[in-house]
Structure 1
Amino acid sequence: MMKGLVSFFFLLAGCHQAAGAVNTKTILLFPEATSTNYVSLKPTEKVLHQITVCLRSYTDLTREHSLFSLATPNKDNAFLIYFSPPNNISISINNEDIFIKVDPDVYYWKKTCVTWDSTNGLLQLWINNKRYPRRVTKTRSPIGPQMSVVLGQEQDSYGGGFDINQSFLGEMCDVNMWDSVLPETSVRVILTDQFSLTGNIYNWNDENFQVHGPILVLKDQYI
């Protein structure tokens, strides 16, 4: 009985710690539109048969812009999250573009999660705890193994080919990436901040990113 109580209190403490961890964050501030400033991630060199990407963004841009761009040597849009305000988003998988109508943009922190499964092509999109109609891609090819992952720019070539008119201007944080399709219960936990879940391929808490250009890294920020 005592052992069970001890385990319970450790679990409870862990939950409180995880809940508190989401109060302050490391935020990337993209201060200007350019074709040169970006942030690069080095998450993995393994083949991805499934993928989940979640992130937060905050912008008042009224033009199209890229949030998350994953390119391979043969596919510049191997996995792309691309917004076209006020109410359009395109998700690209292996250069196949899927267009989805979403609720009109509003100027507050936006939480976005995308999952994709190469076995059946199932693509799922959540924004601010709302899941949009699921789609099925034609492509069944896995992603990788070589990858260039960029935040704030859209790659028209492997690691480059940026366009100022597609650049991100604003704030971004909590970028996490998994090599699996997270269940909906886990996605909703992420979107509602019940506690922190971090990616096994890319973990935002590790701060394993490289800044290119005058992008500010703001630590211990409340949002």
Structure 2
Amino acid sequence: MMEKLFAFPKESSTSYVRLYPELSGPFVEATVCMRFRSDLTRRYSLFSLATPKKYNDFLLFYYDTTYNQSSLWVSDKEQLYDVQGHNFTEWTSICATWSSKAQAVWIDGRKYNNNNIENGEISAGPIIIIGQEQDSYGGKFSEWKSFVGEMTDLNMWDKALTDDNVIDYFAGNEVSGNVINWKALTYTSYGDVSIRPYVDPYPCIPV
């Protein structure tokens, strides 16, 4: 998928992409990074990892412009981040990092910290979906939470990346995940999802 993107053209409960991880867990740390853009003004899911025990084992979610909050669920526990001032209709880079010591969401090089961390674990046997949020293990999708827009360069690691690692990702350096590797992606697409060329709109993000 190098220099390619997934395009989700319309609201749907049947269009999504399943990503097959190279590691099956369990995980005691994790990071997910991606680039996306969307004209949606309602809430939507960016990354949904469900396991047989927990449907929100690692979920990156956006609440609409009324709230303008990013939500990160880990092991069925939610933390909210106020992300006022970002325009997601333009290409946006986002990372979410989690460990037993720290949790944060980064947007275009800006870090939003959260220190209210509880020990947890992402269980083994993950199903990873983009385009929809899982309300059951691998299904129960809702049109009103579906993603509409474009998404690329999605990577996942079984560790919490350092600040320098995350900045490397935002700067467009060669950074590949060991759980999900965009450059060697294994996936299945369903419904109305297309693959298109991706041209990096910024050779570098200022940080």
Task: Say whether the fold is shared (TM-score over 0.5).
Answer: yes
1:190 has 2:174 as partner? no
- Contact in 2 for aligned 1:96/1:137 (Cα 8 Å): no
Name structure 2 gaps, 5 residues minimum: 202-207
Partner SS, residue 190 of structure 1: helix
Equivalent residue letter for 1:77: N
Distance between the aligned counterparts of 2:28 and 2:82, measured in 1?
26
How far 1:135 sits from its partner (Å)? 3.0
Deviates more, 1:47-56 or 1:99-108: 99-108
Q: Where does residue 148 of structure 1 map in the other structure?
A: 127
* Aligned-pair Cα RMSD in Å: 1.4
Distance between the aligned counterparts of 2:28 and 2:78, measured in 1?
18
How far 1:181 sits from its partner (Å)? 1.1
1:46 has 2:25 as partner? yes
Distance between the aligned counterparts of 1:131 and 1:203, measured in 2?
23
Q: How does 1:153-172 map to 2 (within 5 A)?
A: 153-172=132-151
Q: Where does residue 205 of structure 2 map in the other structure?
A: none
Distance between the aligned counterparts of 2:195 and 2:104, measured in 1?
30
Deviations 1:159-211 (A, max 9, x none): 00100000000000010000111110110111122x12010111001131111
Partner SS, residue 60 of structure 1: coil
Equivalent residue letter for 2:98: W
Partner SS, residue 159 of structure 1: coil
Structure exhibiting the larger radius of gyration computed from Cα positions: 1
Distance between the aligned counterparts of 2:167 and 2:196, measured in 1?
26
Deviations 1:87-126 (A, max 9, x none): 2111101111111101234120110001101x33x21110
Name structure 1 gaps, 5 residues minimum: 1-23
1:111 has 2:96 as partner? no
1:75 has 2:54 as partner? yes
Q: 2:114 aligns with which of 134, 139, 153?
A: 134
The structure with the greater share of residues assigned to helix is 1
Distance between the aligned counterparts of 1:103 and 1:25, measured in 2?
29
Q: Where does residue 17 of structure 1 map in the other structure?
A: none
Q: Where does residue 90 of structure 1 map in the other structure?
A: 71
Distance between the aligned counterparts of 1:198 and 1:46, measured in 2?
18
- Contact in 1 for aligned 2:53/2:123 (Cα 8 Å): no
Equivalent residue letter for 2:85: P
1:25 has 2:3 as partner? yes
Q: Where does residue 177 of structure 1 map in the other structure?
A: 156
Q: TM-score, normalised by structure 2?
A: 0.90
